[in-house]
Copies of this chain bind each other. A is one copy, B any other.
Amino acid sequence: MKKRVYVIGMGPGEPEMMCVKADRILRECDTIIGYTVYVNLLREAYPGKEFLTTPMTQEAKRCEMAFEEAAKGKKVAMVCSGDAGVYGMSGLMLEIGASYPEIEVEVVSGVTAALSGGAVLGAPLTHDFAVISLSDRLTPWDKIEKRLACAAEADFSICLYNPSSKGRPDYLKRACDILLQFLPEDRICGTVENIGRQGETAKLYTLGQLRDTEVNMFTTVFIGNSMTKEIGGRMVTPRGYRI
């Protein structure tokens, strides 16, 4: 059988929000590799495994470690939060995997924060939507600005990842200022902090209020489209069914 590395989306954090398949592969594997913070969430649930971690900014090295361990004959799982394919490691694993043609890469999906956070808020993404990361670590800020403007012009519901960090506390404000060039101040928005983890908190805002709200790096932000409304404290984007 061909050697194989699994790239696994572990969902928002709560073990029950992982896919049945992801859970099975983590039970079967020898080695679990990932970003230190995420791997630590798994140590208790998967005892007896070899755990390997690298800090942030060491992503390429982390991928090489995964392939090197698989080359030794181990069954290796690289884990990512959310889905492996949404700002996750599956792209880099396939790029680096080109140097390891004898090892196959299998991607196992997970629930990304747009979905798990949306479920907590209600149904913000029931219609067409765009997902944008505000992190400019790997993307020029003017590209992020352009995407925000186009998404607003298209009347997409928008989900923002990485809305803030210590080094860029004002990025959500800057993003809201761009959106406010196209969208009204009373557009319904929502945030979810610590999705599927202790301290999970959902809040609704207008876009004008959101502009002046401080969020942390564990927050996912949702901007409604022109049809989005608040129903009983939930954020709901109708699909258009007649009731």
- Residues of chain A whose beta carbon lies under 8 Å from any beta carbon of chain B: 9, 11, 14-21, 23-24, 59-60, 83-88, 90-98, 101, 105, 107-112, 115-116, 118-120, 122-133, 138-139, 143-144, 146-147, 149-151, 153-156, 231-232, 234, 236-243
Does the CB pair A60–B243 fall under 8 Å?
yes
Q: Which one, B87, B143, B236, contacts A155 given CB within 8 A?
A: B143
CB closest residue in chain B, given A195: B109
With a cutoff of 8 Å between Cβ atoms, the chain B residues found around residue A242 in the complex are 60
With a cutoff of 8 Å between Cβ atoms, the chain B residues found around residue A125 in the complex are 85-86
Distance in Å: Cβ of A54 to nearest Cβ of chain B:
12
Does the CB pair B91–A126 fall under 8 Å?
yes
Q: Which one, B94, B97, B239, contacts A91 given CB within 8 A?
A: B239
With a cutoff of 8 Å between Cβ atoms, the chain B residues found around residue A59 in the complex are 241
Does the CB pair A98–B139 fall under 8 Å?
no
Q: Which one, B17, B91, B156, contacts A130 given CB within 8 A?
A: B156
Does the CB pair A20–B21 fall under 8 Å?
no
What's the dominant secondary structure at chain A's contact region?
Answer: mixed
CB closest residue in chain B, given A240: B138
Distance in Å: Cβ of A162 to nearest Cβ of chain B:
11
With a cutoff of 8 Å between Cβ atoms, the chain B residues found around residue A240 in the complex are 138-139
Closest 9 CB pairs of A and B: A150-B154, A138-B240, A91-B126, A91-B123, A107-B119, A90-B123, A16-B21, A130-B130, A150-B150
CB closest residue in chain B, given A82: B115
With a cutoff of 8 Å between Cβ atoms, the chain B residues found around residue A234 in the complex are 94, 105
With a cutoff of 8 Å between Cβ atoms, the chain B residues found around residue A150 in the complex are 150-151, 153-154, 156
13 example contacts (A-B, Cβ-Cβ < 8 A) are as follows: A20-B20, A59-B241, A92-B241, A94-B122, A95-B236, A95-B238, A112-B115, A128-B131, A128-B133, A130-B131, A130-B154, A139-B240, A143-B155
With a cutoff of 8 Å between Cβ atoms, the chain B residues found around residue A107 in the complex are 118-120, 122-123
With a cutoff of 8 Å between Cβ atoms, the chain B residues found around residue A96 in the complex are 243
Given contacts A107-B119, A147-B154, 10 further A-B contacts (CB under 8 A): A20-B20, A83-B111, A84-B123, A87-B239, A91-B123, A94-B234, A96-B243, A138-B239, A149-B154, A150-B150
